[in-house]
Amino acid sequence: MAGHSKWANIKHRKGAQDKKRAKQFTRAIKEITVAVKEGGGPDPEANPSLRNAIQNAKGVNMPKDTIERAIKKASGADADHYEMVTFEGYGPNGIAIFVECTTDNTNRTVASVRSIFSKNGGSLGTNGSLEFLFDKKGVFVIEREKIEMNMEEFELELIEGGATTIEKEEDYITIYTEFTDFGSMSSKLEELKIEPKSSEVQRIPMNTLELPVEDAKKIMGLIEKFEDDDDVQNVYHNLDISDELIAELEKE
């Protein structure tokens, strides 16, 4: 998991470009819309899904007034209607890829995802074919500068909140919990008055496949094509993210 979280956090830093930020905002607005529609209304105090969506929006530096407009629009009669759909398939060299989408046009999304797979040496599979390769986990990313207590004391608090793995980097700390402990960790961080940069349920690969760097870079290029699609919310895969691969990707 370490390589995956390390690369995700590097992308947080690299995500300041206008194109990346626009995509992050689009994703955050869709997450807010779905949370309001399906999670229990526009009040974040009564809607945990909306609280998480707002935290994630703040994590990509979305302005407060944009967040408020998104909540208001999602509450209105003319709100966009989104459907959550998933796709599973394989990229080159047998790398498993799980794609989560939020769309207002399923036919368009299916065609786009199938096209990205087929044009890049992959193939779209049937739903459920990859479920056994991934485990749902709660994933919380915290900026180190927001932690005011002693690190050892902080880790004990996290373990009490359900943390199973704590990965420490220079700027970020990534916390993993069992899927069932997602709410418990959210409550623990609220109790500690720490607002995470992101808090999500993610699909974590149970095992990863290591490829030569040049082959791995092609897989990461395929992942980026999925991430650039407006309907795609998240992309998960079981490629091993080595330090060598990260060093090559950072050059680009």
Quick one: pLDDT band at residue 15, thresholds 50, 70, 90? low
Residue 102 and residue 115: Cα distance in Å, rounded? 17
pLDDT of 84-116, one tens digit each?
Answer: 999 999 999 999 999 999 999 999 999 999 999
60 or 96: which leads in pLDDT: 96
pLDDT given at position 2:
64
Kindly report the average pLDDT of the chain as a whole number.
90
With H, G, I as helix, E, B as strand and everything else as coil, classify residue 4: helix
pLDDT of 139-164, one tens digit each?
Answer: 999 999 999 999 999 999 999 999 99
Phi, psi dihedrals of residue 52, rounded to the nearest 5° = -65, -40
The domain 133-205 is placed in CATH, from the list 3.30.70.980, 3.30.70.260, 3.40.50.800, 3.40.50.300, at 3.30.70.980
Which segments of the chain belong to CATH 1.10.10.200? 2-75
The token pair that represents 73 in the structure block: 């629009």
pLDDT given at position 5:
74
- Examine the pLDDT at 13 and tell me if it is beyond 80: no
Quick one: pLDDT band at residue 248, thresholds 50, 70, 90? confident
Tell me the average pLDDT across 179-204: 93
What region does 128 belong to: left with phi over 0, alpha with psi -120 to 50, or beta? left
If one looks up domain 2-75 in CATH, what number appears?
A: 1.10.10.200
pLDDT given at position 61:
87
Please give the model's pTM, rounded to 2 decimal places. Answer: 0.87
pLDDT given at position 243:
87
If one looks up domain 83-125+208-250 in CATH, what number appears?
A: 3.30.70.980
Which segments of the chain belong to CATH 3.30.70.980? 83-125+208-250, 133-205
pLDDT given at position 22:
81
**Angle subtended at Cα 123 by Cα 121 and Cα 127, rounded to the nearest 5 degrees:** 155
With H, G, I as helix, E, B as strand and everything else as coil, classify residue 150: coil
